[in-house]
Amino acid sequence: MIEFKAVSKTYNGKVKALDNMNFTVGDGELVGFIGPNGSGKTTTIKLLSGVLTPDKGTIKVNGFDVGKEPLKAKASIGYIADNPDVFLRLKGIEFLNFIGDVYKTPADERRKTVEDLAERFELAGALNSPIISYSHGMRQKLMVIAALMHKPKVWILDEPMTGLDPKSSFELKALMREHTKQGNSVFFSTHVLEVAEKLCDRVVIIKKGHKLYDGTLAELEKRNKDKNLEDIFLELTGKK
């Protein structure tokens, strides 16, 4: 469960990145967050994960206020940032173990998740090498495994498909769906329309820090009968 209420965020007191943003993601819901570059997606996601603090508004994750009970809120999030280059000097397995300790995941649970997912992502052979030797896609997959070890109630991903090969991208989408099936919330940003179209229960469309649309894509299409999704999207976000 994610509740984002009347949130505004300004950078350096000048750049207004988010203006009175509202949305919710329910339990068992998979929501896509769509918008052109620079529209405020990463800002929103960083506010959710506690990396940034909002100027105004309240953000709740799994019922915990991110500002008031940050540790509980953060513990219930699995977060995948837009850049997977962290702690490059650690080996893959060491990073996973570190994250396991940090999120207080029992050892056998870590093991189960890692064995299962490393197999699915074909990463098992690389886990004993330093992350610096991984490709972008491999790093991204490592982050996915790390984020899922503690079975987060809320899974947040920032542009997760970037750099993934078709098989990995397929596996990731399947994982997102499985995770929602288990009653968790999944919220991910993308600027690629097709991804959202196939995957999401609902989409939130954002432009220049304002919410433009919140609902299913089917309904959006119904409202604009004679146009295809891409045209609608371009129109909404003012590129046409």
- How many Å is the Cα radius of gyration of the chain? 18
Q: CB under 5 A: which stretch of 33-41, 58-66, 119-127, 136-144 binds Mg ion? A: 33-41
Q: Is 111 near other proteins (CB under 8 A)?
A: yes
Q: Is 93 near other proteins (CB under 8 A)?
A: yes
Q: Is 12 near other proteins (CB under 8 A)?
A: yes
Tell me the three state secondary structure of residue 151.
Answer: coil
Q: CB under 6 A: which stretch of 9-17, 91-99, 174-182, 227-235 binds ligand ADP? A: 9-17
Q: Is 71 near other proteins (CB under 8 A)?
A: yes
Q: Is 160 near ligand ADP (CB under 6 A)?
A: no
Among 32, 35, 54, 78, binds ligand ADP (CB under 6 A): 35
Q: CB under 6 A: which stretch of 35-43, 56-64, 103-111, 220-228 binds ligand ADP? A: 35-43
CA distances from residue 52 to 3, 17, 40, 90, 128 in whole angstroms, order as listed: 16, 12, 13, 26, 33
Counting residues that bind Mg ion (by CB under 5 A) gives: 2
Q: Is 237 near Mg ion (CB under 5 A)?
A: no
Q: List CB contacts of 30: < 8 A, sequence separation 6 or more.
A: 176, 177, 180, 186, 199, 200, 201, 202
State how far the Cα of 13 lies from the Cα of 231, in Å rounded to an integer: 35
CA distances from residue 230 to 5, 69, 106 in whole angstroms, order as listed: 29, 40, 45
Q: Is 40 near ligand ADP (CB under 6 A)?
A: yes
Paired residues of 205 in beta bridges = 34, 213
Q: Residue 65: exposed, middle, or buried by beta-carbon count in 10 A (0-12, 13-18, 19+)?
A: middle
Q: Is 32 near ligand ADP (CB under 6 A)?
A: no
Residue 6: CA count within 13 A, CB half-sphere: 3
Q: Is 42 near Mg ion (CB under 5 A)?
A: yes
Interface contacts to Mg ion, rule CB under 5 A? 41-42
- Residues forming the site for ligand ADP (CB under 6 A): 11-12, 15, 17, 35, 37-43
